[in-house]
Amino acid sequence: MQNEFDFTVIDALYATGYHGPRALDKPEFYWRSMLGSMVAYRDSFFRPLGEEIAPAESRDGIEIEAARCEYEGSRFHHALPMNISSLRQFGNHWHLVLPTISTLRDGYCRLRGHAGAVSMLDLWFISKLCQLLPAYLIRRREQPADPDSIPVVPSIIYRISLGMHRIVHISLIKRMASGGDPAAPCLASDAYYVIAEAAGLLVGRNSVCAGPQTMVEQAYRAMIEPASPAGADASAAEPGFYRYAAAFLKLEAEKYLFAVRAAQQLRALIVALDAVPGQARTQAFRDALARFEDWSTEHTSPLAHEIAREDLAMLLQGDEAEIARARQCPAGTVLRRMTAGLNQLVAAADRMCVATLGADGPALLAEIDAMRDAPRDADEWSADAFAAHGLDAAAAQATAAALNTYLHDERAAQRIFARLQQEVDRALGIDDVVAPYSADDIAAVFGPRLRHCIAEHFAETDAAHHATR
């Protein structure tokens, strides 16, 4: 049993740049996660928002007390310790934390455009709002919070929402993949604790969750059920925050769509090449694409590739009964379910934009749709270019079609992302011009894409061919 935290794994991850840029270093488009963008900053008690998963320089000089976990379940006497210092701070402010979460819930429910119970999809958005409040406070141009003294209540809510949103996220993905309705009422608050236990989500890389079951369930209840906002942090009711959140979440939704579509295009090309009779260069290219898909699944866009591959074990969280039912469905069923679910997520983000931007909302959405539906470029790749590299006619045709579709989507995404970042900036009071993003910007956020795999493969095969001549 450990009596202190081992930061080796955490520090190694930061050394690789895995978490992406921090919130004050790059605009929101470049953020890879709400974890990486915020954990290094500190609250008004000078504690890092990431606590034991913060980078070394943010932990320096901070006492992080470790103790053996006595809670029943997966954490009981676990080899990893729990963070007593963080739990103590939670307890000191819990009477303010819960009404602030309730205020965020109420704020979202006013924007969603309909009455009724909180759905699984709504809960996904509410838990994202919990993550976003500190980012808004330090990023806004007027009266920004000191990144080394972010108000403690929004900081605590951010901290607990990192784990809570993950639980909501996997629950939503499972509901989509199993054919359930994301807009149906969400589970009861105590059900999410059960899900977290079953999925091992209360055990992290170097610690176990310090919150007892009662606190976890109370936090979910505040997200789901109406409650008094008395004592809430005032920032949770600021109209500017909801405009910022709406633009940010629309940007996030469009990033999801682009990543999933790119993964589908790669998968479809691999399947198309599988159908082509064996030919050495075509087979070598197909194998290179498959290796790239495996690498990308592990390192850049795991969910997007899980959707494209219809990875039932991951999408359905190992639920054997649901996996068995899904295997009885025709191929492509789970992909269609996930696509429909993602479209619902986009529609919910659109409603938030309309609700916060007023008359400008529909115009923004129409502008984005026009960018997405813009005509394809005249100078597309031809199949002849790939036939010249040794692919047979069918493989060359499939490759040219896939690459042209990807490049069209990438160009549209560059414009869409830049336009939405501009809207995010406006919500923050920032009037700087956002230049259209480039292919390099796309790669910086999403990692190498189909265009890079194709270019690298044929550059290598050309070099190999010339080397043997």
- Under 8 Å CB-to-CB from 417, ≥6 apart: which residues? 29, 251, 254, 255, 437, 441
DSSP state of 379: S
Residue 115 in this model has a pLDDT that exceeds 80: no
- Report the distance separating Cα 135 and Cα 337, nearest Å: 33
Are the CB atoms for 365 and 353 separated by under 8 Å?
A: yes
Domain-embedded: residue 3: no
- Under 8 Å CB-to-CB from 94, ≥6 apart: which residues? 215, 218
Residues 332, 254 share a domain = yes
pLDDT at 116: 81
pLDDT: which is higher, 20 or 330:
330
Average pLDDT along the chain: 93
Residue 279: pLDDT band (50, 70, 90) is confident
Domain-embedded: residue 443: yes
Residue 444: pLDDT band (50, 70, 90) is very high
C-alpha 56: how far from its chain's center?
Answer: 24
Residue 65 in this model has a pLDDT that exceeds 50: yes
DSSP state of 206: S
Residues 293, 233 share a domain = no
Residues 251, 230 share a domain = no
Are the CB atoms for 65 and 57 separated by under 8 Å?
A: no
Residues 154, 13 share a domain = yes
Residue type, 93: H
- Under 8 Å CB-to-CB from 173, ≥6 apart: which residues? 303, 315, 317, 338, 341
- pTM of the entire predicted model: 0.94
What are the pLDDT digits (tens) for 184-203?
999 999 999 999 998 889 99
Residues 219, 98 share a domain = yes
Residues 213, 102 share a domain = yes
Helix ranges restricted to H, 39-178: 56-59, 84-111, 120-139, 152-177
Nearest 5°: phi and psi at 122?
-60, -45
- Report the distance separating Cα 381 and Cα 458, nearest Å: 14
Residues 229, 263 share a domain = no
Domain-embedded: residue 316: yes
Last residue of a domain, one of 237, 261, 285: 237
What are the pLDDT digits (tens) for 165-183?
999 999 999 999 999 999 9
- pLDDT > 70: what percent of the chain? 97
Residue type, 215: M
Last residue of a domain, one of 185, 203, 237: 237
Residues 141, 265 share a domain = no
Tokens describing residue 23: 């919130």
Residues 136, 273 share a domain = no
Residues 206, 297 share a domain = no
Domain-embedded: residue 2: no
- pLDDT > 90: what percent of the chain? 85
Tokens describing residue 73: 């379940």
Last residue of a domain, one of 174, 204, 237: 237
Domain-embedded: residue 242: no
The arithmetic mean of pLDDT across residues 89-97, rounded, is 97
- Total structural domains within the chain: 2
The arithmetic mean of pLDDT across residues 32-56, rounded, is 94
DSSP state of 233: -
- Report the distance separating Cα 338 and Cα 31, nearest Å: 24
Domain-embedded: residue 303: yes
Domain-embedded: residue 462: yes
Question: What is the chain's Cα-based Rg?
Answer: 24
What are the pLDDT digits (tens) for 232-255?
999 999 999 999 999 999 999 999
Domain-embedded: residue 352: yes
Give the domain range for residue 174.
8-237
pLDDT at 299: 86
Q: How many CB atoms lie within 10 A of CB 222?
A: 23
- Report the distance separating Cα 328 and Cα 315, nearest Å: 16
pLDDT at 436: 86
pLDDT at 377: 84
Residues 354, 405 share a domain = yes
Q: Count CA within 13 A, CB hemisphere, residue 430.
A: 18
Residues 403, 272 share a domain = yes
Tokens describing residue 255: 């990033």
Residue 462: pLDDT band (50, 70, 90) is low
Counting every residue written for the chain, the total comes to 469
